[in-house]
């Protein structure tokens, strides 16, 4: 992968940086009730201030990043969390490791966390979810960060074994079934017996990318590579042929009609093709990369009115799409991705509503997680709120490879 280049320039870049500064100013003095987690709380916010430190170290953002990560670690010590990456203690630990790559310090020794995860991963059969947000894939993202420590190697070996056990033959490839009790109520009503989930957040694409990244390290290399290749074949086989809209549905299941999906990281073509490009790069698979980038170009040219985007978040908003296409531009040099990324960041900045929300941003979300409670809210989080918006804008306006987006399975290997 070539060196990271600044996507935005001129007035648009200045607006992006000013917006990030205004968001940071609000977050720096915020005394809200956010928890300590990566996706929704203090650990995620620490990553933003760490990225700000990279661009302008003279402003002292690094000290604030360290304070936030210490607060997150203390909160975890006071109130136990589940182990998952986005909403649990492995995500806090992953953030600490990420800050360490920039010379910022959190906890010195996390071997106890590694040991606890290894004990969890040794349980057979694996009854929890397999996904990135709250399952095996997310734990794999953390374990990759801890390499080459022996406990991290053992964790990754166990993750590959658990994913192999959970895999199922599907057509000419492999896939991973999501049982109904792991689905939210609105999906469970449609997929009463479960489904194959094609979203990056909760489904097969992130599994495939993780396995490819593990194979690349040499841990369980042959097994992880074979699983990744089988999963990639299955994903490509489930692209809708000649679809006028999206090529990938959100999920597939026997007896349930397949329909195109919105454009987002969590579900839809952008997240799927990003995971496929990560997979191709990690495996050194030129043909897979060619096919993935062709699908990505189709997604990039999809009309905005068909995207379903209504806010500026990472998960399913404008900043998330901007960041995905920025990543694809950086790895390919394709002007199509540069143009689309720039357009989505332009839309992100236009979504500001002065005097509302957090630094002018409000998000269409549910504070309870229930569809019936959806509405416009002020959200400071990384995945759904303004912290993620700022991180994506900063990645587009600075000449630094982002150090935070491995949590989205978006960090394309060099």
Query: How remote is the C-alpha of 109 from its chain's centroid?
Result: 26
- Give the integer Cα–Cα distance in Å for 345 and 13: 10
Nearest to 396 by CA among 110, 12, 99, 113: 12
> Peptide bond before 311: cis, by omega within 30 degrees of 0?
no
Which is it for the CA torsion 383, 184, 275, 163, positive or negative? positive
b/e sequence 280-313, b meaning 16+ C-beta within 10 Å: bbbbebeebbebbbebbbbbbebeeeebebebbb
Spell out the residues 6+ positions from residue 274 whose beta carbon is closer than 8 angstroms to its own: 200, 205, 265, 296, 324, 327, 328, 409, 410
159 HSE (CA, 13 A, CB side): 34
Strands (E), 261-404: 363-365, 375-377
DSSP 239: S
Nearest to 178 by CA among 125, 130, 230: 130
Query: How many of the other CB atoms lie within 10 Å of CB of 378?
Result: 16
- Give the integer Cα–Cα distance in Å for 367 and 257: 30
195 marked as binding residue: no
315 marked as binding residue: yes
Orientation angle between helical segments 89-100 and 61-78, nearest 10 degrees: 150
316 marked as binding residue: yes
First to last CA, the chain: 5
Helix H or strand E segment including 139:
helix 136-146
CB 75 within 8 A of CB 42: yes
The residues facing 129 across adjacent strands are 135
Instruction: For 289-318, give the secondary structure using H, E and C.
Output: HHHHHHHHHHHHCCCHHHCCCCCCCCCCCH
The residues facing 358 across adjacent strands are 361
Reduce the DSSP state of residue 116 to 3 states and report it: helix
357 is written with which tokens? 């929300």
Nearest to 300 by CA among 286, 321, 327: 321
Please give the annotated binding residues, written as ranges: 266, 315-316
Please give the annotated binding residues for Zn(2+), written as ranges: 266, 315-316
């Amino acid at each position: 992968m070539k060196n990271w280049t600044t996507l935005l320039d001129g007035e648009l870049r200045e607006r992006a940086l000013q917006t990030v500064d205004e968001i940071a100013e609000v977050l720096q003095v915020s005394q809200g009730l956010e928890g300590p987690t990566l996706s929704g709380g203090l650990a995620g916010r620490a990553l933003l201030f760490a990225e700000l430190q990279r661009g302008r170290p003279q402003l002292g953002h690094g000290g604030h990043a360290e304070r936030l990560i210490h607060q997150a670690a203390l909160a975890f010590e006071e109130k136990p969390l589940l182990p998952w990456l986005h909403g649990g203690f492995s995500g806090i630990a992953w953030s600490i490791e990420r800050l360490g790559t920039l010379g910022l310090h959190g906890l010195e020794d996390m071997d106890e966390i590694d040991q606890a995860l290894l004990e969890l991963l040794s349980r057979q059969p694996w009854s929890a979810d397999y996904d990135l947000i709250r399952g095996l894939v997310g734990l794999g993202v953390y374990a990759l960060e801890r390499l080459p420590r022996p406990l991290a190697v053992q964790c990754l070996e166990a993750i590959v074994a658990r994913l192999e056990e959970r895999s199922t033959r599907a057509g000419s490839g492999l896939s991973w079934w999501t049982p109904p009790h792991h689905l939210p109520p609105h999906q469970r009503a449609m997929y009463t017996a479960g489904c194959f989930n094609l979203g990056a957040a909760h489904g097969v694409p992130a599994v495939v990318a993780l396995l490819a990244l593990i194979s690349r390290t040499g841990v369980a290399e042959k097994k992880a590579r074979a699983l990744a290749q089988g999963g990639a074949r299955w994903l490509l086989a489930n692209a809708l042929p000649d679809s006028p809209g999206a090529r990938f549905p959100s999920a597939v299941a026997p007896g349930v009609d397949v329909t195109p999906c919105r454009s987002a990281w969590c579900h839809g073509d952008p997240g799927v093709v990003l995971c496929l490009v990560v997979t191709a790069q990690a495996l050194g698979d030129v043909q897979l990369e060619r096919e993935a980038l062709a699908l990505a170009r189709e997604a990039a040219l999809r009309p905005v009115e068909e995207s379903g985007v209504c806010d500026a978040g990472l998960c399913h908003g404008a900043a998330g799409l901007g960041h995905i296409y920025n990543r694809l531009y950086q790895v390919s040099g394709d002007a199509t991705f540069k143009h689309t990324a720039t357009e989505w960041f332009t839309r992100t900045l236009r979504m500001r509503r002065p005097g509302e929300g957090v630094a002018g941003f409000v998000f269409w979300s549910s504070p309870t997680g229930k569809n019936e409670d959806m509405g416009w809210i002020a959200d400071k989080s990384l995945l759904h709120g303004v912290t993620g918006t700022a991180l994506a804008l900063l990645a587009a306006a600075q000449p630094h490879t982002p150090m935070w987006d491995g949590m989205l399975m978006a960090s394309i290997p060099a």
